[in-house]
Amino acid sequence: MSVFPENFLWGGAVAANQCEGAYNEDGKGLSVQDVLPRGLVGPRTQEPTPDNLKLEGIDFYHRYKEDIRLFAEMGFKVFRTSIAWSRIFPRGDEEEPNEKGLQFYDDLFDECRKYGIEPLVTISHYETPLWLAEQYDGWRDRRLVGFFERYVRTIFNHYKGKVRYWLTFNEINSLIHAPFMSGGIATPKEQLTEQDLYQAMHHELVASAMAVKIGHEIMPEAKIGCMILGITTYPLTPDPSDIIAAMEKDRDTLMFADVHARGSYPRYLVNYFEKKGIRIRMEPGDEEMLKHTVDFISFSYYSSGCVTVHQNEGSDALGNMTGGVKNPYLKASQWGWQIDPQGLRYTLNKLYDRYQLPLFIVENGLGAVDTLVTLENGEKTVEDDYRIDYLRQHLKEAAKAIEDGVELMGYTSWGCIDLVSASTAQMSKRYGYIYVDRNDDGSGTLQRYRKKSFYWYQKVIETNGESLYEDE
């Protein structure tokens, strides 16, 4: 008997800006992604430049029917994607939505439903309209809460009945690490104070709680969750000072989940604000609004990191936004992200112990270089055993967490079809079960090919996880 519940939501995840392309079609406005040709590792440009792979993405905007059919062939129960805010409100501050933008997602969600696939929709996935960044400095400005309200009311009213599962802000805690990509804050990071960043955080937290409130009013049956970048931190040594350092580092992440799950700022954060002289400007009603807590907690999980107070004891590790110090017990991906399947079990238990809310792993996967090969029967594929191995190990740890008692709603692996990377904006950092023929220089036919992992995941879903143990 499988340990995964019968209604477990197996699937995959993408984000609009990393796959749709069609960056200026059918009335879409520019988003912050359209001026980030190198992702987080390079500077922004003044306007879209041809070397920005996201402008065309994998042309999901025109090929989504073919792609959803492939997801259905794998047996997906759920498909996570985002709505590009600037398709619905091209500038972000206008009164009326763009009908063609609404129509696109109608068609997309209908296509999912045709195969019995539940859409899981991120409302804001690193794609703040560029106008809001340039004219308002993004989420630093309180008025964004009002624009966001109009946006969520529009999409909730429009897609009620089609979408039951929603996430508010992708990796909301990344606001602190990547203020432009995550929060549309145009002021350079070096010029931002902690006061600025925490004020922007407050605006997003209020907006997130407001989305939960409005969502439940409009769609009583909907499940609305937050989404946290699941940075898991270990102490590098048993030195109690390292334990404290890890506890504090963990709180950078957990404070966002604390507010979403408990409905108020945790005391350690209030005390920190006081100590640092940070004064969060609140409007009447904000504290009440925050009490609209989420139905579930979702998170991304790729790797873990270590901290230490000791100098020279480890070297830097790379990771999703923040790295920390290298863990000598772990191997890393080609991009230096440390691979730690057990860390997933640990993270699930930690979150569940703390909140007793259902959890959803909405991102996990291995970014790797793939080589397309031609089999004897002429079929083209990628023999991505390394990816299968990564995913299998992580899923087995998720299964152990379920046995530990964690309530896990589902699993959507990241980049179920190859797409443009968020941090480096490369095509060559591939996560998919489906290979897309597009290269870092923009060349390629955009043809789709099933990788070996495609068939592997199909079987995992078909057996509700039992095939994970087959070759032991």
Residues contributing to the site for ligand BGP (CB under 6 A): 15, 18, 170-171, 300, 320, 363, 367, 414, 421-424, 429
- DSSP letter for each residue of 418-463: ----TTT--SSSB--SEEE---TTS-S---EEE-HHHHHHHHHHHT
| Least distance from ligand BGP to the Cβ atom of residue 396, Å | 21
| Least distance from ligand BGP to the Cβ atom of residue 278, Å | 26
> Considering only CA atoms, which of 337, 345, 346, 343 is closest in space to residue 366?
337
Spatial contact of 437 and 447, defined as CB atoms under 8 Å apart: yes
Q: Which is nearer to ligand BGP, 23 or 136 (CB)?
A: 23
Instruction: Identify the burial level of 76 via C-beta atoms within 10 angstroms of its C-beta, where 0-12 means exposed, 13-18 middle and 19 or more buried.
Output: buried
**Residues counted in the chain:** 472
Q: Which is nearer to ligand BGP, 289 or 422 (CB)?
A: 422
Angle between helices 143-159 and 194-218 (to 10 degrees): 30
Distance CA 194, CA 280 (A): 11
Q: Which is nearer to ligand BGP, 155 or 422 (CB)?
A: 422
Q: Which is nearer to ligand BGP, 33 or 98 (CB)?
A: 33
| Least distance from ligand BGP to the Cβ atom of residue 469, Å | 28
| Least distance from ligand BGP to the Cβ atom of residue 300, Å | 5
| Least distance from ligand BGP to the Cβ atom of residue 360, Å | 14
> Considering only CA atoms, which of 30, 46, 224 is closest in space to residue 132?
30
Q: Which is nearer to ligand BGP, 224 or 229 (CB)?
A: 229
Tokens describing residue 258: 């604390």
| Least distance from ligand BGP to the Cβ atom of residue 13, Å | 8
| Least distance from ligand BGP to the Cβ atom of residue 18, Å | 6
Q: Catalytic annotation on 171? A: yes
Instruction: Identify the burial level of 354 via C-beta atoms within 10 angstroms of its C-beta, where 0-12 means exposed, 13-18 middle and 19 or more buried.
Output: middle
| Least distance from ligand BGP to the Cβ atom of residue 429, Å | 5
Q: Which is nearer to ligand BGP, 119 or 465 (CB)?
A: 119
Q: Which is nearer to ligand BGP, 4 or 411 (CB)?
A: 411
Residue from 363, 376, 403, 407 carrying the catalytic annotation: 363
Q: Which is nearer to ligand BGP, 136 or 411 (CB)?
A: 411
Instruction: Identify the burial level of 142 via C-beta atoms within 10 angstroms of its C-beta, where 0-12 means exposed, 13-18 middle and 19 or more buried.
Output: middle
| Residue ranges in 41-142 assigned as alpha helix (H) | 60-74, 85-88, 99-114, 130-136
Residues 107-116: contacts with CB under 8 Å, at least 24 apart: 107/64, 108/64, 108/68, 108/81, 109/159, 109/162, 109/163, 110/162, 111/64, 111/65, 111/68, 112/68, 112/79, 113/162, 114/68, 115/68, 115/69, 115/71, 115/72, 115/76, 116/72, 116/77
Residue from 171, 190, 204, 407 carrying the catalytic annotation: 171
Spatial contact of 186 and 270, defined as CB atoms under 8 Å apart: no
> Considering only CA atoms, which of 224, 223, 209, 211 is closest in space to residue 263?
209
Give the number of other Cβ atoms within 10 Å of residue 311's Cβ. Answer: 6
Q: Which is nearer to ligand BGP, 52 or 199 (CB)?
A: 52
C-alpha R_g of the chain: 21
Residue that the structure tokens 């996990």 belong to: 364
| Least distance from ligand BGP to the Cβ atom of residue 25, Å | 21
Catalytically annotated residues: 171, 363
